[in-house]
């Protein structure tokens, strides 16, 4: 008999989703109630996930793992999603897209991410990805009356389906030549001389790179980020990236952990391409959501640079990077939601001018977040990059480190441009006052972590080390 205690979080999440769906269907105008229940439910799930923290356990004949790595990632997913629901609440209501499907789709996608993070089997991974992606496709086109939003949904769906197909093809190749979809068995019977297996590995990597929008599989990102309602964009930038990165870490280090050499080159290319394209392409953007899309691409490039190393340090630095990236993303999307004049949400970067006069504290926080995104010490973003490059230099990939640092200087340019608009440019009309507590709280949360991270930089490394311990 399996120990089902371990998957209580997944069970609770499913029940919560179904229950709230019922509530939404049978009770009219129940959006407020459902979004409240789902945020509280997500927060309550954190201790439920955490309670198993001292056990590294295998379920369903080693096909589902509940180890410190998956627990860390799940908590990160839950926390970031709960905060995202919290601060986008007001936006959803103001843009009159407050259908009860929004929180429910978020919940189902989180369930999918849980499966992605914990799965130790290619089929489980695929199912998790599909559950997550299908929910996200619908979320992207949540604003049914907007052409852009619909376009974003369709675009995301078509390209996402293609990448899922590639992933599935890779899985089938691996299965065909190793005889199993279980990671442990694949690791044992992987023959690096078999070309078909390497093809399978490449296809799987392509599918996963698409999910975290790494170059050259990033094409969907700017359009989807721009077209989706901002609340959904904020969600896209947080939890799915965490889950995608977790899936990549596990698949590279568990089934393919013995053949680092084989995937290293591919990953270096993806990482370098993401860093460069993310830095260069963002310079020309005038829409802040598109800019954040490119910024996210380059950040995924840095996170992947940690994985390139194939070492424990590298994994730990990537996990830390993802964590700090999530904190910074929360802050930057909150600031985007503050850009509101006369009840209209603005998206052009130029509209930010005057923020420093109207909302001096928000402006200051945004500047802190932007400097942190650019990786300027002593802010958290610098430490994240520092650990990555430390791991990279340790395995003597000097060129990669130098490229990464140079692109970080290039990307500093567009972050500085935003700061310039906030602080140096003459102010325009007044921004609307901030009424939502969710916005205030989330911004303070993100800014304070970024600003005071340097007081004790080892605070997260403890957790990331525990999480890493489960991987190798």
Partner 1 sequence: MNFPILSIIIFLPLVGVLFILLNSGDEIKVKKTSFRVSLLTSLLVFIMSLFLWLQFDNTTKDFQFVENKKWIVDFINYRVGVDGISILFVVLTAFITPICIVATYNSVTNRTKDFFIALLVMETMMLGVFCSLDLFIFYLFFEAGLIPMFLIVGIWGGIRRVYAAFKFFLYTLFGSVFMLVAIIFIYLETGTTDIQTILSFNIDQKYQYWLWLGFFASFAVKTPMWPVHTWLPDAHVEAPTSGSVILAAILLKMAGYGFIRFSLGFFPIASAYFAPLIFALSIVAVIYTSLVALMQKDMKKLIAYSSVAHMGFVTIGIFAFNSQGIEGSIFQMISHGIVSAALFLCVGVVYDRMHTREISEYGGVVNTMPRYSVIFLVFILAGLGLPGTSGFVGEFLVLIGAFKANYLVAFFAATGVVLSACYSLWLYRRVIFGAVANDNVKLLKEINKTELATLLPLVFLTILLGVFPNIILDTISVSVENVISVYNEKLLILKQASIK
Q: Which pair of tokens denotes residue 385?
A: 């990059």
- Which residue among 21, 280, 376, 448 contacts partner 1 (CB under 8 A)? 376
Q: Which pair of tokens denotes residue 4?
A: 């089902």
Q: Which pair of tokens denotes residue 270?
A: 């993806």
Please say which residue, 117 or 450, places its beta carbon nearer to partner 1: 450
Q: Does 283 bind partner 1 (CB under 8 A)?
A: no
Please say which residue, 32 or 286, places its beta carbon nearer to partner 1: 286
Distance CA 362, CA 453 (A): 19
Q: Does 452 bind partner 1 (CB under 8 A)?
A: no
Please say which residue, 8 or 386, places its beta carbon nearer to partner 1: 386
Q: Does 386 bind partner 1 (CB under 8 A)?
A: yes
User: In b/e form, how buried is each residue of 213-234, taking b as 16+ CB within 10 angstroms?
Assistant: bbbebbebbbbbbbbbbbbbbb
Please say which residue, 157 or 387, places its beta carbon nearer to partner 1: 387
Q: Which pair of tokens denotes residue 10?
A: 């997944």
Distance CA 33, CA 464 (A): 35
Rounded to a whole number of angstroms, the minimum distance from the CB of residue 350 to partner 1 is 14
DSSP secondary structure, 396-463, as one string: T-HHHHHHHHHHHHHHHHHHHHHHHHHHTSPP-SPPPPP--HHHHHHHHHHHHHHHHGGG-THHHHHH
Q: Does 469 bind partner 1 (CB under 8 A)?
A: no
Q: Which stretch binds partner 1 (CB under 8 A): 147-155, 174-182, 323-331, 417-425?
A: 417-425
Rounded to a whole number of angstroms, the minimum distance from the CB of residue 378 to partner 1 is 5
Binding mask 318-357 for partner 1 (x = CB under 8 A): ----------------------------------------
Environment class of residue 94 by beta-carbon count within 10 Å: exposed (0-12), middle (13-18) or buried (19+)? middle
Q: Which stretch binds partner 1 (CB under 8 A): 103-111, 282-290, 376-384, 442-450?
A: 376-384
The answer to whether 365 touches 306, Cβ cutoff 8 Å, is no
Rounded to a whole number of angstroms, the minimum distance from the CB of residue 396 to partner 1 is 9
Distance CA 6, CA 9 (A): 8
Torsion, CA 119, CA 122, CA 126, CA 128, rounded to 10 = 0
Q: Does 26 bind partner 1 (CB under 8 A)?
A: no
What is the number of alpha carbons within 13 Å of residue 28 lying toward its C-beta?
0
Q: Which pair of tokens denotes residue 213?
A: 């929008």
- Which residue among 91, 371, 453, 463 contacts partner 1 (CB under 8 A)? 371
Rounded to a whole number of angstroms, the minimum distance from the CB of residue 50 to partner 1 is 23
Rounded to a whole number of angstroms, the minimum distance from the CB of residue 57 to partner 1 is 29
Distance CA 428, CA 348 (A): 13
Q: Which stretch binds partner 1 (CB under 8 A): 43-51, 226-234, 327-335, 375-383?
A: 375-383
Q: Which stretch binds partner 1 (CB under 8 A): 203-211, 214-222, 253-261, 382-390?
A: 382-390
Distance CA 57, CA 118 (A): 11
Rounded to a whole number of angstroms, the minimum distance from the CB of residue 462 to partner 1 is 8
The answer to whether 68 touches 86, Cβ cutoff 8 Å, is no
Q: Does 272 bind partner 1 (CB under 8 A)?
A: no
Range 393-412, binding partner 1 (CB under 8 A): 393-394, 398, 401-402, 405-406, 408-409, 412
Binding mask 101-140 for partner 1 (x = CB under 8 A): ----------------------------------------
Rounded to a whole number of angstroms, the minimum distance from the CB of residue 363 to partner 1 is 11
Q: Does 187 bind partner 1 (CB under 8 A)?
A: no
Q: Which pair of tokens denotes residue 223?
A: 């359009």
Rounded to a whole number of angstroms, the minimum distance from the CB of residue 234 to partner 1 is 26
Q: Does 457 bind partner 1 (CB under 8 A)?
A: yes
Instruction: Look at residues 231, 219, 216 and name the one whose alpha carbon lies nearest to residue 266.
Output: 216
Q: Which stretch binds partner 1 (CB under 8 A): 54-62, 177-185, 295-303, 390-398?
A: 390-398
Range 419-448, binding partner 1 (CB under 8 A): 419-420, 423-424
Instruction: Look at residues 346, 413, 343, 344 and name the one whose alpha carbon lies nearest to residue 373.
Output: 413
Distance CA 209, CA 84 (A): 24
Size of interface with partner 1, in residues (CB under 8 A): 28
Distance CA 358, CA 431 (A): 6
Q: Which stretch binds partner 1 (CB under 8 A): 100-108, 206-214, 222-230, 371-379?
A: 371-379
Q: Does 177 bind partner 1 (CB under 8 A)?
A: no
Instruction: Look at residues 364, 365, 384 and name the one whose alpha carbon lies nearest to residue 374.
Output: 384
Q: Residue 241: which region, alpha, beta or left (left: phi > 0; alpha: psi -120 to 50)? A: alpha
Q: Residue 341: beta bridge partners?
A: 344
Please say which residue, 206 or 319, places its beta carbon nearer to partner 1: 319
Residue ranges in contact with partner 1 by CB under 8 A? 371, 376-378, 382, 386, 389-390, 393-394, 398, 401-402, 405-406, 408-409, 412-413, 416, 419-420, 423-424, 454, 457-458, 461
């Amino acid at each position: 008999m399996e120990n089902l205690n371990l998957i209580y979080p997944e069970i609770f999440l499913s029940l919560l989703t179904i229950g709230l769906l019922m509530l939404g269907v049978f009770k009219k105008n129940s959006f407020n109630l459902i979004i409240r229940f789902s945020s509280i439910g997500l927060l309550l799930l954190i201790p439920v996930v955490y309670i198993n923290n001292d056990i590294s356990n295998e379920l369903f004949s080693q096909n589902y793992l509940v180890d410190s790595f998956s627990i860390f990632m799940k908590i990160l997913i839950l926390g970031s999603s709960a905060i995202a629901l919290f601060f986008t609440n007001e936006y959803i209501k103001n843009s009159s897209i407050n259908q009860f499907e929004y929180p429910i789709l978020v919940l189902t996608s989180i369930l999918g991410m849980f499966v992605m993070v914990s799965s130790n089997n290619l089929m489980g991974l695929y199912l998790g990805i599909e559950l997550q992606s299908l929910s996200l496709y619908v979320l992207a086109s949540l604003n049914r009356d907007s052409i852009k939003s619909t376009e974003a949904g369709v675009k995301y769906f078509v390209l996402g389906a293609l990448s899922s197909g590639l992933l599935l093809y890779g899985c089938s190749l691996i299965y065909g030549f190793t005889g199993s979809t279980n990671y442990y068995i694949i690791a044992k019977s992987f023959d690096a001389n078999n070309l078909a297996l390497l093809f399978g590995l490449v296809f799987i990597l392509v599918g996963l790179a698409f999910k975290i929008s790494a170059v050259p599989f990033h094409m969907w990102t700017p359009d989807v980020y721009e077209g989706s309602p901002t609340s959904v964009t904020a969600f896209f930038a947080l939890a799915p990236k965490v889950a995608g990165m977790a899936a990549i870490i596990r698949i590279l280090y568990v089934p393919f952990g013995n053949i680092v050499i084989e995937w290293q080159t591919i990953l270096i290319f993806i990482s370098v391409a993401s860093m460069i394209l993310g830095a260069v392409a963002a310079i020309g953007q005038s829409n802040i959501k598109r800019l954040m899309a490119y910024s996210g691409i380059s950040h995924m490039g840095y996170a992947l640079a940690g994985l390139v190393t194939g070492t424990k340090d590298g994994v730990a630095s990537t996990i830390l990077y993802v964590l700090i990236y999530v904190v910074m993303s929360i802050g930057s999307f909150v600031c985007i939601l503050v850009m509101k004049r006369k009840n209209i949400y603005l998206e052009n970067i130029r509209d930010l001018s005057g923020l420093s006069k109207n909302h001096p504290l928000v402006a200051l926080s945004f500047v802190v977040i932007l400097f942190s995104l650019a990786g300027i010490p002593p802010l958290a973003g610098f430490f994240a990059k520092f650990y990555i490059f430390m791991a990279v230099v340790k395995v003597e990939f000097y060129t990669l480190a130098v490229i990464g640092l140079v692109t970080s200087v290039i990307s500093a340019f567009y972050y500085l441009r935003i700061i310039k608009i906030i602080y140096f440019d003459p102010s325009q009309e007044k921004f609307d006052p901030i009424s939502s507590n969710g916005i205030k709280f989330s911004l303070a949360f993100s800014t304070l972590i970024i600003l005071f991270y340097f007081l004790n930089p080892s605070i997260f490394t403890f957790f990331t080390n525990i999480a890493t311990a489960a991987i190798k």
